[in-house]
Amino acid sequence: MADETAATETGAPQASHEIPDSENNGAKRKKLLSILAIVVVVVAILWGLWYFLTQAGRVHTDNAYVGADSAQVTALVPGPVKEVRVAGTQAVKKGDILVILDDADQRIALADAEAALRLARQHYSQADATADAARARVAARGADIAQAKARLRDANATVERARAELARRESIAGTGAVSGEELTAARAALASASAARDLAAAGIASAEATRGSASGDLGAAEAIVRGTTIDTAPDVAAAQARLEKARLDLARTVLRAPVDGIVTNRAVQVGQRIAAGAPIMVIVPIGTAYVDANFKESQFGDIRIGQPVELTSDYYGGDVVYRGKVVGIAGGTGAAFSLIPAQNATGNWVKVVQRLPVRIALDPEQLKAHPLRVGLSMEATIDTRGN
């Protein structure tokens, strides 16, 4: 009994010490939980504030790729390749010589066209001279007609005189004052004058016929040169056009870069004979590159043309942030314009969220400082808050 009392007396103080320790631990736990709750709330508030200030109203996609309106270089005239001055991946400027073709055939064609032009000018000058000669012949035939008419008038006068002489002699033939010989001579003179008159009349007809022939020649000659000059004559103009084409074909034997950019897909070698229209290389204008970002259809509620865009590329990493703006939205999804469009009117239809391409223009200065390449992947974030 004494032992139990001693044990009780000994245990009483121990229980009195354990109760305050557990209360202290509970208080500390509650304090820590309160502090943790406050920290969580503060973090949540800060995150919400950060999201509202920086992320709210922004749509993001990593399905974006760099593109450019590449220029395909093609040969416009056929011929063997004489010289290739660029290599793949080489940067070129607009107007730089890329390829030179052998121009022997084009030079011969140019010489032939120049000769044809000179010949056409010569023919025109000849036709003009022929027209002038025809005019002179018509004028000469007019003078011949005037002379023939004058001879006819003289012949008529001679006939009248001969007729009067014959009539006078015949009136006095019965008196014996005129011999038979004189009467015969008067009759012969009248016949001769009549014949001369008929010949003069025939001369007029002949001169008029000759003038008609000359007038026809004049019309034919004038038809070639009427209303034209040596530069506007059809034959001369056609020859001039052939000459210009020959010069153009000769100039086209030197192929130049149409734009600034990088040479890719070079498919031409020295000695190779290329046909007109054959593609030989592609020039990629990286200075005017753009981005096609494929956003989900559910993200287009606030996307508008002109909105600012931030972009990053794996090529440079997150340290380089490109600034751009939305310049266009495609007229249809990629699936709609694919070679074999999806047929959803079947029994095995499953809804798939579609993506619509958005064209984003980049800052030229940033492209100059950090050039991109076609096909690189990008991450794009459109700020729609200013909508």
Contact 245, 140 (CB under 8 A): no
Could you tell me the CATH number of the domain that includes residue 358? 2.40.30.170
* Range with the poorest average pLDDT among 81-95, 172-186, 276-290: 172-186
pLDDT at residue 266 tops 90? yes
State the virtual CA torsion across 198, 203, 209, 212 in degrees, nearest 10.
-130
DSSP code for 146: H
Amino acid 376 reads L
Q: Does the residue 290 lie in any domain?
A: yes
* Range with the poorest average pLDDT among 54-63, 74-83, 115-124, 172-181: 172-181
Q: Which domain holds residue 350?
A: 58-70+285-383
Pick from 256, 279, 277: which is nearest to 267 by CA? Answer: 279
* pLDDT value of position 39: 85
| 302-335 pLDDT, tens digit each | 889 999 999 999 899 888 999 999 999 998 887 7
| 365-374 pLDDT, tens digit each | 999 999 999 9
Q: Does the residue 185 lie in any domain?
A: yes
- Same domain for 112 and 64, yes or no, is no
* pLDDT value of position 183: 65
Q: Does the residue 46 lie in any domain?
A: no
Confidence band, pLDDT 50/70/90 cuts, at residue 42:
confident
Q: Mean pLDDT throughout 104-115? A: 95
Please report how many Cα atoms fall inside a 13 Å half-sphere around the Cα of residue 243, on the Cβ side: 15
Count of structural domains within the chain: 2
- Same domain for 110 and 63, yes or no, is no
Q: Mean pLDDT throughout 156-176? A: 70
The span from the CA of 301 to the CA of 62, in Å, is: 19
* Range with the poorest average pLDDT among 7-21, 25-39, 101-115, 323-337: 7-21
* pLDDT value of position 5: 44
* pLDDT value of position 9: 47
- Same domain for 207 and 113, yes or no, is yes
Pick from 322, 301, 335: which is nearest to 369 by CA? Answer: 322
| 213-247 pLDDT, tens digit each | 666 666 666 666 677 778 888 888 999 999 999 99
Q: Does the residue 26 lie in any domain?
A: no
- Same domain for 127 and 194, yes or no, is yes
On average, the pLDDT of the chain sits at 81
The 3-state secondary structure of 101-122, one letter per residue = ECCHHHHHHHHHHHHHHHHHHH
Q: Does the residue 95 lie in any domain?
A: no
Q: Does the residue 40 lie in any domain?
A: no
| 191-201 pLDDT, tens digit each | 777 777 777 77
